[in-house]
Amino acid sequence: MHNKITKEDIKELPLKQFEGTVNVVEDPKQVTHVVEKLRNEKIIGFDTETKPSFKKGVSHDVALLQLSTEEEAFLFRLNITGFNGALTKLLSNPGIKKVGVGIRDDLRGLQQLNNFTPKGFIDIQELAPKYGIEVLSLKNLAGLLLGIRISKRQRLSNWEADALSEGQILYAATDAWVALKIYNKIKKMKPVASSPVKADQKKKSS
Protein backbone atom coordinates (compact mmCIF):
# COMPACT_ATOMS: atom_id res chain seq x y z
CA MET A 1 0.00 0.00 0.00
CA HIS A 2 1.17 3.55 -0.74
CA ASN A 3 1.85 5.81 2.22
CA LYS A 4 1.12 9.12 0.44
CA ILE A 5 -1.56 10.55 -1.84
CA THR A 6 -1.62 13.67 -4.04
CA LYS A 7 -4.36 16.27 -4.50
CA GLU A 8 -4.69 15.08 -8.08
CA ASP A 9 -5.23 11.49 -6.93
CA ILE A 10 -7.91 12.59 -4.47
CA LYS A 11 -9.79 14.52 -7.18
CA GLU A 12 -10.24 11.23 -9.07
CA LEU A 13 -11.84 9.44 -6.11
CA PRO A 14 -15.62 9.09 -5.63
CA LEU A 15 -17.22 11.68 -3.35
CA LYS A 16 -18.65 10.01 -0.26
CA GLN A 17 -20.64 11.17 2.74
CA PHE A 18 -22.28 9.58 5.75
CA GLU A 19 -25.39 7.64 4.74
CA GLY A 20 -26.59 6.45 8.15
CA THR A 21 -28.99 8.05 10.62
CA VAL A 22 -28.07 11.54 11.85
CA ASN A 23 -29.45 12.83 15.15
CA VAL A 24 -29.18 16.58 15.75
CA VAL A 25 -29.50 17.18 19.49
CA GLU A 26 -30.71 20.68 20.41
CA ASP A 27 -32.83 20.00 23.50
CA PRO A 28 -30.75 19.93 26.72
CA LYS A 29 -33.25 17.44 28.17
CA GLN A 30 -32.46 14.93 25.41
CA VAL A 31 -28.70 14.85 25.97
CA THR A 32 -28.67 12.25 28.77
CA HIS A 33 -31.01 9.94 26.84
CA VAL A 34 -28.91 10.19 23.66
CA VAL A 35 -25.64 9.61 25.52
CA GLU A 36 -27.13 6.40 26.94
CA LYS A 37 -27.15 5.05 23.36
CA LEU A 38 -23.42 5.66 23.08
CA ARG A 39 -22.40 4.24 26.45
CA ASN A 40 -22.48 0.67 25.10
CA GLU A 41 -20.13 1.44 22.21
CA LYS A 42 -16.47 0.38 22.40
CA ILE A 43 -15.25 2.85 19.76
CA ILE A 44 -16.82 6.04 18.40
CA GLY A 45 -15.69 8.66 15.91
CA PHE A 46 -15.14 12.16 17.33
CA ASP A 47 -14.95 15.71 16.00
CA THR A 48 -16.07 19.26 16.83
CA GLU A 49 -16.98 22.37 14.86
CA THR A 50 -16.56 26.02 15.80
CA LYS A 51 -17.93 29.13 14.14
CA PRO A 52 -15.02 30.63 12.18
CA SER A 53 -13.72 34.05 13.10
CA PHE A 54 -12.52 36.36 10.39
CA LYS A 55 -11.40 39.11 12.76
CA LYS A 56 -8.06 39.12 14.52
CA GLY A 57 -8.36 38.51 18.26
CA VAL A 58 -11.94 37.26 18.01
CA SER A 59 -12.65 33.60 18.74
CA HIS A 60 -15.74 31.51 19.37
CA ASP A 61 -16.59 28.59 21.63
CA VAL A 62 -17.05 25.08 20.26
CA ALA A 63 -20.59 25.00 18.83
CA LEU A 64 -20.97 21.37 17.76
CA LEU A 65 -19.75 18.02 19.09
CA GLN A 66 -19.99 15.07 16.71
CA LEU A 67 -19.89 11.46 17.86
CA SER A 68 -20.49 8.62 15.43
CA THR A 69 -20.81 4.86 15.21
CA GLU A 70 -20.68 3.03 11.86
CA GLU A 71 -24.45 3.43 11.40
CA GLU A 72 -25.51 6.44 13.47
CA ALA A 73 -24.15 9.95 14.06
CA PHE A 74 -25.03 12.27 16.94
CA LEU A 75 -24.54 16.02 16.58
CA PHE A 76 -24.75 17.90 19.88
CA ARG A 77 -25.35 21.64 19.42
CA LEU A 78 -23.36 22.73 22.45
CA ASN A 79 -24.10 26.42 21.91
CA ILE A 80 -27.74 25.50 22.68
CA THR A 81 -27.52 22.47 25.02
CA GLY A 82 -24.41 23.41 26.97
CA PHE A 83 -21.61 20.93 27.68
CA ASN A 84 -21.80 19.09 31.00
CA GLY A 85 -23.21 16.09 32.84
CA ALA A 86 -23.68 13.03 30.67
CA LEU A 87 -21.47 14.31 27.84
CA THR A 88 -18.47 15.11 30.03
CA LYS A 89 -18.83 11.69 31.70
CA LEU A 90 -18.81 10.01 28.29
CA LEU A 91 -15.70 11.90 27.17
CA SER A 92 -14.00 11.10 30.50
CA ASN A 93 -14.76 7.37 30.25
CA PRO A 94 -11.52 5.45 29.48
CA GLY A 95 -13.54 2.36 28.56
CA ILE A 96 -14.94 3.96 25.40
CA LYS A 97 -12.40 4.84 22.69
CA LYS A 98 -12.98 8.19 20.99
CA VAL A 99 -11.03 8.48 17.74
CA GLY A 100 -10.41 11.63 15.72
CA VAL A 101 -7.84 13.40 13.57
CA GLY A 102 -5.81 16.25 15.06
CA ILE A 103 -7.96 16.43 18.17
CA ARG A 104 -5.77 18.56 20.46
CA ASP A 105 -7.55 21.83 19.61
CA ASP A 106 -10.96 20.12 19.78
CA LEU A 107 -10.29 18.93 23.32
CA ARG A 108 -8.84 22.27 24.36
CA GLY A 109 -11.98 23.99 23.07
CA LEU A 110 -14.24 21.60 24.99
CA GLN A 111 -12.22 22.08 28.17
CA GLN A 112 -12.81 25.83 27.90
CA LEU A 113 -16.54 25.08 28.10
CA ASN A 114 -16.18 22.70 31.04
CA ASN A 115 -12.99 21.67 32.80
CA PHE A 116 -13.12 17.89 32.40
CA THR A 117 -10.37 15.28 32.00
CA PRO A 118 -10.50 13.63 28.55
CA LYS A 119 -9.89 9.87 28.66
CA GLY A 120 -9.97 7.14 26.03
CA PHE A 121 -9.03 9.48 23.17
CA ILE A 122 -6.93 8.33 20.21
CA ASP A 123 -5.49 10.85 17.76
CA ILE A 124 -5.06 9.21 14.35
CA GLN A 125 -2.34 11.76 13.54
CA GLU A 126 -0.23 10.17 16.29
CA LEU A 127 -1.19 6.61 15.32
CA ALA A 128 -0.70 6.80 11.54
CA PRO A 129 3.13 7.18 11.48
CA LYS A 130 3.46 3.92 13.45
CA TYR A 131 1.93 2.23 10.41
CA GLY A 132 4.15 4.03 7.90
CA ILE A 133 1.42 6.44 6.83
CA GLU A 134 2.80 9.84 5.86
CA VAL A 135 -0.41 11.85 5.39
CA LEU A 136 -2.15 13.39 8.39
CA SER A 137 -5.22 15.37 7.30
CA LEU A 138 -8.66 13.75 7.45
CA LYS A 139 -9.18 14.31 3.73
CA ASN A 140 -5.83 12.73 2.77
CA LEU A 141 -6.26 9.81 5.16
CA ALA A 142 -9.74 9.13 3.76
CA GLY A 143 -8.37 9.18 0.23
CA LEU A 144 -5.36 7.01 0.97
CA LEU A 145 -6.94 4.42 3.25
CA LEU A 146 -10.61 4.36 2.25
CA GLY A 147 -10.36 5.33 -1.41
CA ILE A 148 -12.95 8.09 -1.03
CA ARG A 149 -13.08 11.87 -1.36
CA ILE A 150 -14.82 13.89 1.33
CA SER A 151 -16.02 17.47 0.92
CA LYS A 152 -14.62 20.19 3.19
CA ARG A 153 -16.92 22.88 1.74
CA GLN A 154 -18.88 23.49 4.94
CA ARG A 155 -15.88 23.79 7.25
CA LEU A 156 -15.97 27.59 7.48
CA SER A 157 -19.75 27.91 7.66
CA ASN A 158 -21.68 29.34 10.62
CA TRP A 159 -21.97 26.54 13.17
CA GLU A 160 -24.00 28.77 15.49
CA ALA A 161 -26.77 29.35 12.91
CA ASP A 162 -30.35 29.13 14.18
CA ALA A 163 -30.75 25.93 12.15
CA LEU A 164 -27.98 23.87 10.59
CA SER A 165 -28.32 23.31 6.85
CA GLU A 166 -28.49 19.82 5.38
CA GLY A 167 -25.00 20.38 3.99
CA GLN A 168 -23.64 21.25 7.43
CA ILE A 169 -25.34 18.24 9.03
CA LEU A 170 -23.95 15.77 6.48
CA TYR A 171 -20.49 17.35 6.60
CA ALA A 172 -20.35 17.19 10.41
CA ALA A 173 -21.61 13.60 10.55
CA THR A 174 -19.21 12.53 7.81
CA ASP A 175 -16.12 13.90 9.58
CA ALA A 176 -16.76 11.89 12.77
CA TRP A 177 -17.81 8.76 10.84
CA VAL A 178 -14.78 8.88 8.53
CA ALA A 179 -12.42 9.15 11.51
CA LEU A 180 -13.91 5.92 12.86
CA LYS A 181 -13.60 4.19 9.46
CA ILE A 182 -9.96 5.28 9.13
CA TYR A 183 -9.14 3.99 12.62
CA ASN A 184 -10.76 0.61 11.92
CA LYS A 185 -8.80 0.35 8.67
CA ILE A 186 -5.47 1.19 10.32
CA LYS A 187 -6.02 -1.38 13.07
CA LYS A 188 -6.17 -4.11 10.39
CA MET A 189 -2.72 -3.09 9.14
CA LYS A 190 0.65 -4.21 10.44
CA PRO A 191 2.76 -1.62 12.25
CA VAL A 192 6.05 -0.77 10.57
CA ALA A 193 9.19 -2.59 11.68
CA SER A 194 10.26 -2.51 15.33
CA SER A 195 6.79 -1.84 16.72
CA PRO A 196 5.75 -5.54 16.76
CA VAL A 197 9.00 -6.50 18.50
CA LYS A 198 8.28 -4.07 21.31
CA ALA A 199 4.81 -5.48 21.67
CA ASP A 200 6.22 -9.02 21.91
CA GLN A 201 8.74 -7.95 24.51
CA LYS A 202 5.96 -6.42 26.58
CA LYS A 203 4.03 -9.67 26.47
CA LYS A 204 7.03 -11.66 27.63
CA SER A 205 7.75 -9.35 30.50
CA SER A 206 4.13 -9.18 31.66
**Any idea which fold 7-205 has?**
Nucleotidyltransferase; domain 5 (3.30.420)
The Cα 5–Cα 141 span in angstroms is 8
Q: How far is CA 24 from the centre of its chain?
A: 16
The pLDDT score that the predictor gives to residue 1 is: 55
Task: Please state, in angstroms and rounded to a whole number, the distance separating the CA atoms of residues 56 and 6.
Answer: 32
Give the pLDDT confidence score for residue 31 in this predicted structure.
96
Tell me what pLDDT residue 205 has.
39
Instruction: Going residue by residue through the chain, which has 206 residues, state the pLDDT in tens, using 9 for 90 and above.
Output: 567 888 888 889 999 999 999 999 999 999 999 999 999 999 999 999 999 887 887 789 999 999 999 999 999 999 999 998 999 999 999 999 999 999 999 999 999 999 999 999 999 999 999 999 998 899 999 999 999 999 887 887 899 999 999 999 999 999 999 999 999 999 999 998 754 444 444 444 33
Residue 178, judged by CB atoms within 10 A of its CB (0-12, 13-18, 19+), counts as buried
Q: Sheet of 21-25: strands edge to edge?
A: 21-25, 72-77, 62-68, 43-50, 97-100, 121-123
What pLDDT is attached to residue 200? 43
Under the phi-then-psi rule, with left for phi > 0, alpha for psi from -120 to 50, and beta for the rest, what region is 98? beta
The separation between CA 198 and the C-alpha centre of its own chain, rounded to angstroms, equals 28
CA distance 145 to 150: 12
Residue 180, pLDDT score = 97
Residue 155 pLDDT: 80
